[in-house]
Amino acid sequence: MSSNNASGKVVSVDEQALKQADEAEVDADGFEVVEETPKLRATVEQETQAKVDANHPDGIKETNKERIQGATLEQEERIRAQEAELERISVRAKVSKQDGRAKRARDIAAERSKERRREFQRRAASVDPMADPERPDAREELSQDELASVNKQTKRLSEKLDGWTKAAISRRLAERVVEGASLMSAVVGVHEELQTAPGQVIPIGELEDVNRKEVSISGRVDTLWEPSHPSIAQVGLIEDESGRTRVTVWENSNAPWMEEGEQVCIRGAARNWYEGRVSLAVTGWSTILFPERGRWWE
Protein backbone atom coordinates (compact mmCIF):
# COMPACT_ATOMS: atom_id res chain seq x y z
CA MET A 1 0.00 0.00 0.00
CA SER A 2 2.76 2.34 0.93
CA SER A 3 4.67 1.62 -2.27
CA ASN A 4 1.66 2.46 -4.37
CA ASN A 5 1.23 5.80 -2.60
CA ALA A 6 4.90 6.68 -3.06
CA SER A 7 4.86 5.86 -6.74
CA GLY A 8 1.70 7.90 -7.18
CA LYS A 9 3.51 11.09 -6.08
CA VAL A 10 6.21 10.85 -8.72
CA VAL A 11 5.85 13.67 -11.29
CA SER A 12 7.66 13.67 -14.58
CA VAL A 13 9.86 16.52 -15.80
CA ASP A 14 7.41 17.38 -18.55
CA GLU A 15 4.60 17.69 -16.06
CA GLN A 16 6.69 20.04 -13.89
CA ALA A 17 7.51 22.24 -16.88
CA LEU A 18 3.86 22.31 -17.91
CA LYS A 19 2.83 23.29 -14.38
CA GLN A 20 5.40 26.14 -14.28
CA ALA A 21 4.19 27.33 -17.67
CA ASP A 22 0.62 27.43 -16.37
CA GLU A 23 1.73 29.45 -13.34
CA ALA A 24 3.84 31.91 -15.41
CA GLU A 25 2.41 35.41 -15.88
CA VAL A 26 1.31 36.25 -19.44
CA ASP A 27 0.41 39.55 -21.10
CA ALA A 28 -2.73 40.45 -23.08
CA ASP A 29 -1.37 38.73 -26.19
CA GLY A 30 -0.69 35.54 -24.36
CA PHE A 31 3.07 35.92 -24.23
CA GLU A 32 4.97 35.18 -21.06
CA VAL A 33 6.11 38.30 -19.17
CA VAL A 34 9.87 38.35 -18.68
CA GLU A 35 11.39 40.58 -15.95
CA GLU A 36 13.35 43.34 -17.69
CA THR A 37 15.68 44.14 -14.78
CA PRO A 38 16.78 40.87 -13.32
CA LYS A 39 18.50 40.90 -9.95
CA LEU A 40 22.27 41.02 -10.21
CA ARG A 41 24.39 38.98 -7.91
CA ALA A 42 28.11 39.07 -7.43
CA THR A 43 30.00 36.20 -8.90
CA VAL A 44 32.26 34.05 -6.82
CA GLU A 45 35.25 35.87 -8.27
CA GLN A 46 33.85 39.30 -7.31
CA GLU A 47 33.07 38.20 -3.76
CA THR A 48 36.58 36.84 -3.42
CA GLN A 49 38.09 40.11 -4.67
CA ALA A 50 35.94 42.11 -2.21
CA LYS A 51 37.29 40.09 0.69
CA VAL A 52 40.84 40.60 -0.54
CA ASP A 53 40.29 44.38 -0.82
CA ALA A 54 38.74 44.57 2.64
CA ASN A 55 41.70 42.86 4.29
CA HIS A 56 44.57 44.05 2.12
CA PRO A 57 47.42 45.63 4.21
CA ASP A 58 47.70 48.62 1.86
CA GLY A 59 44.03 49.38 2.30
CA ILE A 60 44.31 49.21 6.09
CA LYS A 61 47.41 51.41 6.05
CA GLU A 62 45.64 54.20 4.18
CA THR A 63 42.96 54.56 6.86
CA ASN A 64 43.68 55.82 10.34
CA LYS A 65 40.67 54.04 11.82
CA GLU A 66 39.69 50.41 11.91
CA ARG A 67 38.46 48.94 8.68
CA ILE A 68 34.76 48.28 8.19
CA GLN A 69 34.34 44.55 7.93
CA GLY A 70 32.60 43.29 4.83
CA ALA A 71 32.88 46.58 2.90
CA THR A 72 34.97 47.31 -0.14
CA LEU A 73 37.39 50.21 -0.20
CA GLU A 74 34.95 52.24 -2.29
CA GLN A 75 32.10 51.58 0.13
CA GLU A 76 34.30 52.36 3.11
CA GLU A 77 35.47 55.65 1.59
CA ARG A 78 31.88 56.67 0.98
CA ILE A 79 30.91 55.81 4.57
CA ARG A 80 33.90 57.68 5.98
CA ALA A 81 33.06 60.73 3.85
CA GLN A 82 29.48 60.75 5.11
CA GLU A 83 30.64 60.47 8.72
CA ALA A 84 33.13 63.32 8.22
CA GLU A 85 30.44 65.52 6.67
CA LEU A 86 28.09 64.85 9.58
CA GLU A 87 30.88 65.73 12.00
CA ARG A 88 31.53 69.03 10.19
CA ILE A 89 27.82 69.88 10.27
CA SER A 90 27.70 69.15 13.99
CA VAL A 91 30.75 71.34 14.69
CA ARG A 92 29.34 74.22 12.63
CA ALA A 93 26.05 73.98 14.51
CA LYS A 94 27.82 74.12 17.87
CA VAL A 95 30.01 77.07 16.83
CA SER A 96 27.02 78.94 15.43
CA LYS A 97 25.13 78.41 18.66
CA GLN A 98 28.08 79.64 20.73
CA ASP A 99 28.54 82.69 18.48
CA GLY A 100 24.87 83.52 18.90
CA ARG A 101 25.14 83.37 22.67
CA ALA A 102 28.31 85.49 22.65
CA LYS A 103 26.67 88.13 20.44
CA ARG A 104 23.62 88.31 22.69
CA ALA A 105 25.88 88.67 25.73
CA ARG A 106 27.82 91.49 24.03
CA ASP A 107 24.62 93.28 23.07
CA ILE A 108 23.26 93.04 26.61
CA ALA A 109 26.55 94.29 28.09
CA ALA A 110 26.68 97.22 25.65
CA GLU A 111 23.11 98.22 26.45
CA ARG A 112 23.76 98.07 30.18
CA SER A 113 26.91 100.14 29.72
CA LYS A 114 24.94 102.81 27.83
CA GLU A 115 22.31 102.88 30.55
CA ARG A 116 24.94 103.24 33.28
CA ARG A 117 26.58 106.07 31.33
CA ARG A 118 23.25 107.87 30.90
CA GLU A 119 22.51 107.45 34.60
CA PHE A 120 25.96 108.83 35.49
CA GLN A 121 25.44 111.82 33.21
CA ARG A 122 22.04 112.52 34.75
CA ARG A 123 23.54 112.44 38.24
CA ALA A 124 26.47 114.60 37.15
CA ALA A 125 24.04 117.13 35.69
CA SER A 126 22.69 117.80 39.19
CA VAL A 127 26.13 119.23 40.04
CA ASP A 128 27.27 120.49 36.64
CA PRO A 129 24.51 121.44 34.18
CA MET A 130 27.03 121.13 31.32
CA ALA A 131 27.12 117.37 31.87
CA ASP A 132 23.40 116.97 31.22
CA PRO A 133 23.04 114.74 28.11
CA GLU A 134 19.61 116.21 27.42
CA ARG A 135 20.83 119.80 27.63
CA PRO A 136 19.76 121.73 24.49
CA ASP A 137 22.44 123.04 22.15
CA ALA A 138 22.59 126.82 22.50
CA ARG A 139 24.20 127.16 19.07
CA GLU A 140 20.80 126.51 17.51
CA GLU A 141 19.54 129.78 19.03
CA LEU A 142 22.30 131.94 17.52
CA SER A 143 21.94 133.92 14.34
CA GLN A 144 24.14 133.12 11.39
CA ASP A 145 26.48 136.04 12.13
CA GLU A 146 26.70 135.19 15.84
CA LEU A 147 27.47 131.56 15.05
CA ALA A 148 30.23 132.61 12.64
CA SER A 149 31.81 134.81 15.34
CA VAL A 150 31.58 132.00 17.91
CA ASN A 151 33.27 129.56 15.54
CA LYS A 152 36.07 132.06 14.89
CA GLN A 153 36.74 132.53 18.61
CA THR A 154 36.48 128.79 19.15
CA LYS A 155 39.37 128.23 16.78
CA ARG A 156 41.51 130.68 18.75
CA LEU A 157 40.65 129.13 22.11
CA SER A 158 41.29 125.57 20.90
CA GLU A 159 44.92 126.53 20.28
CA LYS A 160 45.30 127.59 23.92
CA LEU A 161 43.24 124.93 25.67
CA ASP A 162 44.61 121.40 25.59
CA GLY A 163 42.21 118.51 25.99
CA TRP A 164 39.08 120.36 24.81
CA THR A 165 37.41 119.78 21.47
CA LYS A 166 36.21 122.63 19.29
CA ALA A 167 32.65 121.36 19.65
CA ALA A 168 32.78 121.61 23.46
CA ILE A 169 34.34 125.08 23.37
CA SER A 170 31.89 126.48 20.81
CA ARG A 171 28.93 125.06 22.70
CA ARG A 172 30.05 126.69 25.95
CA LEU A 173 30.67 130.00 24.18
CA ALA A 174 27.21 129.88 22.63
CA GLU A 175 25.62 129.27 26.03
CA ARG A 176 27.26 132.36 27.49
CA VAL A 177 26.22 134.47 24.51
CA VAL A 178 22.63 133.23 24.78
CA GLU A 179 22.68 134.08 28.50
CA GLY A 180 23.38 137.70 27.55
CA ALA A 181 27.17 138.03 27.77
CA SER A 182 29.09 139.82 25.05
CA LEU A 183 31.28 137.73 22.81
CA MET A 184 34.55 139.03 24.31
CA SER A 185 33.27 138.51 27.84
CA ALA A 186 32.18 135.00 26.91
CA VAL A 187 35.62 134.23 25.46
CA VAL A 188 37.41 135.36 28.63
CA GLY A 189 35.00 133.50 30.90
CA VAL A 190 35.13 130.24 28.94
CA HIS A 191 38.92 130.37 28.76
CA GLU A 192 39.20 130.71 32.53
CA GLU A 193 36.53 128.08 33.14
CA LEU A 194 37.98 125.40 30.89
CA GLN A 195 41.58 126.14 31.76
CA THR A 196 40.95 125.46 35.43
CA ALA A 197 38.51 122.58 34.92
CA PRO A 198 39.20 119.31 36.78
CA GLY A 199 41.97 117.31 35.13
CA GLN A 200 43.43 120.29 33.28
CA VAL A 201 47.00 121.47 33.83
CA ILE A 202 46.69 124.84 35.56
CA PRO A 203 49.20 127.68 35.22
CA ILE A 204 51.04 128.02 38.51
CA GLY A 205 50.20 131.71 38.69
CA GLU A 206 46.47 130.88 38.80
CA LEU A 207 46.57 128.31 41.62
CA GLU A 208 45.19 130.82 44.12
CA ASP A 209 42.06 131.33 42.02
CA VAL A 210 41.20 127.64 41.79
CA ASN A 211 38.59 126.39 44.22
CA ARG A 212 39.64 122.72 44.31
CA LYS A 213 41.60 120.52 46.67
CA GLU A 214 43.55 118.71 43.94
CA VAL A 215 45.19 120.30 40.91
CA SER A 216 47.63 119.47 38.12
CA ILE A 217 50.59 121.64 37.14
CA SER A 218 53.51 121.53 34.73
CA GLY A 219 56.81 123.34 35.23
CA ARG A 220 60.53 123.12 35.81
CA VAL A 221 62.18 122.31 39.14
CA ASP A 222 63.87 125.56 40.13
CA THR A 223 65.32 124.78 43.55
CA LEU A 224 65.45 121.84 45.96
CA TRP A 225 66.60 122.07 49.58
CA GLU A 226 67.10 119.77 52.54
CA PRO A 227 63.81 118.59 54.10
CA SER A 228 63.16 119.68 57.66
CA HIS A 229 61.46 116.43 58.70
CA PRO A 230 62.09 112.70 58.02
CA SER A 231 58.53 112.30 56.72
CA ILE A 232 59.36 114.66 53.83
CA ALA A 233 61.24 113.16 50.88
CA GLN A 234 61.81 116.36 48.89
CA VAL A 235 60.85 120.00 49.05
CA GLY A 236 61.51 122.83 46.62
CA LEU A 237 60.15 125.33 44.11
CA ILE A 238 58.61 124.61 40.72
CA GLU A 239 57.98 127.40 38.23
CA ASP A 240 56.47 128.06 34.83
CA GLU A 241 55.91 131.20 32.77
CA SER A 242 53.12 132.40 35.07
CA GLY A 243 54.79 131.97 38.47
CA ARG A 244 56.28 129.57 40.99
CA THR A 245 55.06 127.55 43.96
CA ARG A 246 56.41 125.44 46.80
CA VAL A 247 56.06 121.67 46.36
CA THR A 248 56.45 119.15 49.17
CA VAL A 249 56.90 115.46 48.34
CA TRP A 250 55.93 113.25 51.27
CA GLU A 251 57.99 110.13 51.97
CA ASN A 252 54.96 107.84 52.05
CA SER A 253 53.96 108.89 48.53
CA ASN A 254 56.78 106.76 47.05
CA ALA A 255 57.06 109.34 44.28
CA PRO A 256 60.01 109.25 41.86
CA TRP A 257 62.98 111.48 42.64
CA MET A 258 63.12 114.93 41.05
CA GLU A 259 66.27 116.76 40.02
CA GLU A 260 66.87 120.50 39.75
CA GLY A 261 66.31 121.79 36.23
CA GLU A 262 64.00 118.93 35.25
CA GLN A 263 60.68 119.51 33.53
CA VAL A 264 57.93 117.80 35.53
CA CYS A 265 54.17 117.39 35.35
CA ILE A 266 52.43 116.76 38.66
CA ARG A 267 48.86 115.47 38.56
CA GLY A 268 46.56 115.19 41.56
CA ALA A 269 48.69 117.36 43.85
CA ALA A 270 47.00 118.43 47.08
CA ARG A 271 46.47 122.19 47.23
CA ASN A 272 47.06 123.95 50.57
CA TRP A 273 48.49 127.13 52.01
CA TYR A 274 51.94 127.77 53.48
CA GLU A 275 52.84 131.10 55.10
CA GLY A 276 49.99 132.87 53.33
CA ARG A 277 50.79 131.45 49.91
CA VAL A 278 49.36 128.53 48.00
CA SER A 279 51.55 125.42 47.93
CA LEU A 280 51.27 121.86 46.70
CA ALA A 281 51.89 118.48 48.30
CA VAL A 282 52.63 115.23 46.47
CA THR A 283 50.75 112.39 48.19
CA GLY A 284 50.09 108.75 47.44
CA TRP A 285 47.25 109.83 45.14
CA SER A 286 49.54 112.08 43.08
CA THR A 287 51.54 111.27 39.95
CA ILE A 288 54.81 112.83 38.80
CA LEU A 289 55.70 112.62 35.11
CA PHE A 290 59.00 113.56 33.47
CA PRO A 291 58.37 114.53 29.82
CA GLU A 292 62.05 114.96 28.98
CA ARG A 293 63.38 111.73 30.46
CA GLY A 294 64.36 109.08 27.97
CA ARG A 295 64.76 111.50 25.05
CA TRP A 296 67.69 109.79 23.36
CA TRP A 297 68.16 112.49 20.72
CA GLU A 298 69.31 115.03 23.32
Please report whether residue 31 resides in a domain.
Answer: no
Please report whether residue 81 resides in a domain.
Answer: yes
Among 116, 133, 150, the domain-final residue is 133
pLDDT of residue 105: 78
Among 83, 112, 133, the domain-final residue is 133
If asked whether residues 152 and 126 sit together in one domain, one would say no
pLDDT of residue 80: 81
Question: What torsion do the CA atoms of 178, 182, 185, 189 make, to the nearest 10 degrees?
Answer: 0
Phi, psi at 10, each rounded to 5° = -75, 130
Tell me the pLDDT tens digit for each residue of 45-58: 776 766 666 655 55
pLDDT of residue 231: 93
Please report whether residue 27 resides in a domain.
Answer: no
| Ordered DSSP codes for 42-63 | --HHHHHHHHHHHH-HHHHHH-
Please report whether residue 49 resides in a domain.
Answer: yes
Tell me the pLDDT tens digit for each residue of 236-292: 999 999 999 999 999 999 999 999 999 999 998 999 887 788 999 999 989 999 988
Q: Are 295 and 262 in contact (CB under 8 A)?
A: no
Among 104, 133, 162, the domain-final residue is 133
Question: What torsion do the CA atoms of 20, 22, 26, 29 make, to the nearest 10 degrees?
Answer: 140
- At 248, which CATH number? 2.40.50.140
Band (pLDDT 50/70/90 cuts) for residue 3 is: very low
Sign, CA dihedral 257-259-262-264, equals: positive
If asked whether residues 59 and 115 sit together in one domain, one would say yes
If asked whether residues 157 and 188 sit together in one domain, one would say yes
If asked whether residues 83 and 169 sit together in one domain, one would say no
Please report whether residue 23 resides in a domain.
Answer: no
Please report whether residue 263 resides in a domain.
Answer: yes
- Name the residue range of residue 66's domain: 39-133
If asked whether residues 87 and 44 sit together in one domain, one would say yes
If asked whether residues 159 and 129 sit together in one domain, one would say no
If asked whether residues 163 and 112 sit together in one domain, one would say no
| Residue of 114 and 152 predicted with greater confidence | 152
Give the global pTM: 0.44
Tell me how many domains the chain contains.
3
Phi, psi at 256, each rounded to 5° = -65, 155
